[in-house]
Amino acid sequence: LQKSLNEIFGADKYSRARKEVLTYMCSRPMQMALYFCTGVVEDETLFRHYALNVPFYTHFTSPIRRYADIIVHRLLSASLGASPPIKMEKEDIQRQAEHCNDRKMASKRVQELSGDLFFSIFVRVR
């Protein structure tokens, strides 16, 4: 797909932007990862990472990026005995996860609308 996009869009001043927007639009249907607290979820199939084919999976990035990553770092640190347990009930962690999911989905929606707007302008100009 990437090779086809590179070949189609040429080298004018808008080619890179067109390619980025269409690449994004092609990847949009992929399922978005959700945060949840394993202590309140009974369905262990939700812990699985389909593409990696592993039964238990957690993902996080640098804790300076997102609050959810701070929580994951703290929980992992506590589970390894490197720090004391965090003082949050599992229901509170789940509420925080749901809030992070809500914010992430709202951000993604704004990003999608922005891409749609750019694409609409592109189509109108062309």
| Mean pLDDT, residues 55-83 taken together | 86
Least confident of 19-28, 61-70, 85-94: 19-28
pLDDT digits (tens, 9 = 90+) for 73-119: 898 899 999 999 989 999 999 999 999 999 989 998 998 899 889 88
Band of residue 29 on the pLDDT scale cut at 50, 70, 90: low
The answer to whether residue 7 scores a pLDDT higher than 80 is no
| Percentage above 90 pLDDT, the chain | 26
Decide if 71 contacts 93 (C-beta within 8 A): yes
Q: What is the mean pLDDT of the chain?
A: 84
* In the chain, domain spans: 1-30, 34-125
The whole-angstrom separation of Cα 73 and Cα 58 is: 11
The answer to whether residue 40 scores a pLDDT higher than 80 is yes
Give the pLDDT confidence score for residue 123 in this predicted structure.
Answer: 87
The whole-angstrom separation of Cα 48 and Cα 2 is: 28
The whole-angstrom separation of Cα 46 and Cα 76 is: 19
Beta bridge partners of 49: 54
Q: Please name which of 55, 59, 35 lies closest in space to residue 47, comparing C-alpha atoms.
A: 55
> What is the DSSP-derived secondary structure letter of residue 45?
G
The answer to whether residue 9 scores a pLDDT higher than 90 is no
> What is the DSSP-derived secondary structure letter of residue 53?
T
